[in-house]
A = this chain, B = another copy of it.
Amino acid sequence: MAATETLTAERILEATEEVLRRYGPAKATVVDVARVLGVSHGSVYRHFRTKAALREAVTERWLSRTETALAELTAAPDRPAPEKLHAWFAHLFEAKRHKAGDDPELFATYNVLIDENSGVVEQHIGVLIDQVRSIVAEGAREAEFAAPDPDATARALFDATSRFHDPAYAPEWRRPTIETEFEAVVGLLLRGLRA
């Protein structure tokens, strides 16, 4: 049985994802997680001291998958910065849409954290903006972009594309015109960055 394996934080997080997908953030409990693992809820609490801490950790892990995919895109060599920046925002939009549409229970958990002003969400946004800053700085070095202040520019790019990654807009992501609207905004921003 599962209980004979060592109970690691990773195994608890996997089980929590499963439980959240099954019951949603409002109904999922630590007892459900313990049951899936075949352990006592006390064993779970030894790794995560509160339900909120567990919810934070599972969301952090879920968000870090998006961050990792985007980091690879950010680090890709020999790709013009304008093209890279376009691909980066398209990938972020696609990832968020996928999470909202195909993984609604974990998406709902993420929204609970947003409402709780959890540091996890702020940290996620910080990681993302830092990747944008890196692409902007690269483009400025290669004289592809005119961006005297890559930090402020990265923040502005992230803010100006909110409609295409902020979970508050998730209901609009199913509109048939959303792709065209995305291209119009990103196109305008890329023109604004031209050296």
Whether, in the assembled complex, A85 has its beta carbon less than 8 Å from a beta carbon of chain B, the answer is: no
Q: Could you say which residues of chain B place their CB within 8 Å of the CB of A152?
A: 180, 184
Contact B168–A159 (Cβ < 8 Å): no
Whether, in the assembled complex, A46 has its beta carbon less than 8 Å from a beta carbon of chain B, the answer is: no
A21-38 Cβ-contact flags toward B at 8 Å (1 or 0): 000000000000000000
Whether, in the assembled complex, A124 has its beta carbon less than 8 Å from a beta carbon of chain B, the answer is: no
Choose among B153, B180, B191 the residue that contacts A184 (Cβ–Cβ < 8 A). Answer: B153
**Size range of the chain A interface in the assembly:** 20 to 34
Q: Could you say which residues of chain B place their CB within 8 Å of the CB of A188?
A: 153, 156-157, 160, 189, 192-193
- Interface secondary structure of A, over-half rule: helix
Give Cα A116 to B163, complex, Å. Answer: 20
Chain B min CB distance to A134 (Å): 18
Give Cα A189 to B153, complex, Å. Answer: 11
Chain B min CB distance to A140 (Å): 14
Choose among B160, B169, B193 the residue that contacts A160 (Cβ–Cβ < 8 A). Answer: B160
Within 8 A of B (CB), among A152-189: 152-153, 155-157, 159-163, 168-169, 180-181, 184-185, 187-189
Q: Could you say which residues of chain B place their CB within 8 Å of the CB of A189?
A: 160, 188-189, 192
Choose among A155, A157, A162 the residue with the greatest number of B CB atoms under 10 Å from its CB. Answer: A162
Choose among B161, B168, B192 the residue that contacts A168 (Cβ–Cβ < 8 A). Answer: B168
Closest to A178 in B: B159
Question: Assuming the A-B contacts A191-B191, A191-B192, A192-B192, are A184 and B161 also in contact, with contact meaning beta carbons closer than 8 angstroms in the complex?
Answer: no
Known: A159-B184, A160-B189, A191-B193. 13 other contacts (CB 8 A): A146-B191, A152-B184, A153-B184, A155-B181, A155-B184, A156-B187, A157-B188, A160-B185, A162-B162, A162-B163, A168-B168, A188-B189, A192-B192
